[in-house]
Amino acid sequence: MPPRLHAAPAAGPVPQEVLDDLSRRFAATAADFDRQAVFPQPNFLALHDAGLLGLTVETALGGRGAGLGEALRVLRAVARGEPSTALILFMTYCTFADSSAEPASRAGRWPRHLYERVAREAATEMSLIGTLRVEPELGTPVRGGLPKTVARATPEGWRLSGHKIYSTGSTGLRWFAVWARTDEPTPRVGTFLVRSDSPGIRVEPAWDHLGMRASVSHEVVFEDALTPLDHAVDVRKPAEWAAQAAQKAGGLAAWNALAISTIYGAVAEAARDWLVGYLNQRTPSNLGAPLATLPRVQEKVGEIEALLHTNRILLDTTTRRAESSDPGERPTPVENNLVKYTTTRNAIRAVEIGLELTGNPGLSRHNPLERHYRDVLCSRIHSPQDDTILISAGWSALTRAASPP
């Protein structure tokens, strides 16, 4: 995206009226972006103009310095309007999130001058960053294994060669955070920061998905793409990554689970909002009253409300714990991922109930409910998937029971 500057945002929470306005504006064009499956650039222009792209960037670098709770509040509002926008935005928020709870935060491991440069761009320009991790051969790195993408050290910098798939935000990002391994005899693995307009990079338009179509999660191919040596921002031995994963208990460990839960929960809320409007307006001639007057309809909408209420309580409680100054209070990775498991399943079921109540109108592309259903189903594909979450939770419970008091 071309540079587009704005004044420094005001400190403090984002006014609710600003978020409500963005939700309405994004919802008005969401069907168009879904049909065209293109990057929702007008949405990011609006977020930039509102000073929200750098929400989690520290105030000294031009951002708002917002924490997890405020970031989730903004993501929820964005996702209620257009969830692909929220998913792309989340990656930039997470990159610059306050990570004081982490023993080795991004701000601490990246070269400071580079971190400040990329953070200032996010806060003051139209600059987004996204993580490229998944590969055709490897699949998701969460399940283990070394990436096939290779970074080769040369006198002029790192040369990256490889193939990434499901690259969320691909055509709208300024920076790619690429998961790759070095070509050293004992490979190191980690993140290499690469400008998206660097020579040797091409985007293959392969994303033709059921839902979240505007996330433009295309394939990105690197062919000896050059990036400076100091852009190897977090490269470690595989054993170090494994040790860090085992020790994570708070801070950034909560961001993925709670953001995914928030985004897809907001999709279900948007579906509920349309549904209750439809049920109050639809008056079949043989009934002579709106569908909303039927006890069966009221019961099923009550079931939706119970599912969404459970989601809100889980998210609010876990977010407060994640932001606690007491490390012992913060949720464990198992707890964070159980929240993701529960809330995404609840969100899917809530939209399914809406389809059961509406029949053909709910499945018509003239109405948004079928789009909400296609989008909410995509919650299942985000790592860690349900089987990994449940196996981890089960192993944890069984291990505790087997341990002596």
Same domain, residue pair 287 and 272: yes
Residues 280 and 387 in one domain: yes
The answer to the question of residue 167 being in a domain is: yes
* The pLDDT value given to residue 100: 45
pLDDT band with cut points at 50, 70 and 90 for residue 164: very high
Q: Whose CA is closest to 265, among 208, 326, 318? A: 318
CA-nearest of 254, 400, 266 to 337 is 254
- Same domain flag for 39 and 97: yes
Do 171 and 112 belong together in one domain? Answer: no
- Shared domain check, 352 and 303: yes
> How many domains does the chain divide into?
3
CATH of the domain at 51: 1.10.540.10
Query: Is 2 among the domain residues?
Result: no
pLDDT tens for 318-331 read 999 999 989 889 99
Whether the pLDDT of residue 11 is over 80: the answer is no
Residues 266 and 374 in one domain: yes
Last residue of a domain, one of 174, 204, 236: 236
Window from 9-18, 311-320, 332-341 with minimum mean pLDDT:
9-18
Q: Please identify, among 201, 236, 271, the residue that sits at the C-terminal boundary of a domain.
A: 236
Place 340 in a pLDDT band, splitting at 50, 70 and 90. very high
Q: Above pLDDT 90, what percent of the chain? A: 84
**What number is the average pLDDT over the span 286-290?**
94
Any domain includes 4: no
Domain span including residue 264: 248-396
Is 405 a domain residue?
no
CA distance 340 to 342: 6
Q: Residue 119: is its pLDDT beyond 90?
A: yes
Q: Determine what percent of the chain is predicted with pLDDT higher than 70.
A: 90
pLDDT band at 101 (very low <50, low <70, confident <90, very high): very low
Q: What is the pLDDT of residue 41?
A: 97
Q: How far apart are CA 197 and CA 95, in angstroms?
A: 20
Residue 265 lies in a domain: yes
Q: Rounded to whole angstroms, how far apart are CA atoms 177 and 232?
A: 10
Q: Is residue 207 part of a domain?
A: yes
Whether residue 288 is found in the same domain as residue 160: no
Please say if the pLDDT value at position 4 is more than 60: no
Residue 300 has pLDDT above 60, yes or no: yes
Residue 252 domain flag: yes
| Judgement on whether residues 380 and 268 belong to the same structural domain of the protein | yes
Between helices 41-49 and 83-95, what is the axis angle to 10°? 50
Residue 7 inside a domain? The answer is no
178, 217: one domain: yes
HEC profile of 72-109: HHHHHHHHHHCHHHHHHHHHHHHHCCCCCCCCCCHHHH
The verdict on 272 and 356 lying in the same domain is yes
Q: Tokens in use for 251?
A: 């801070």
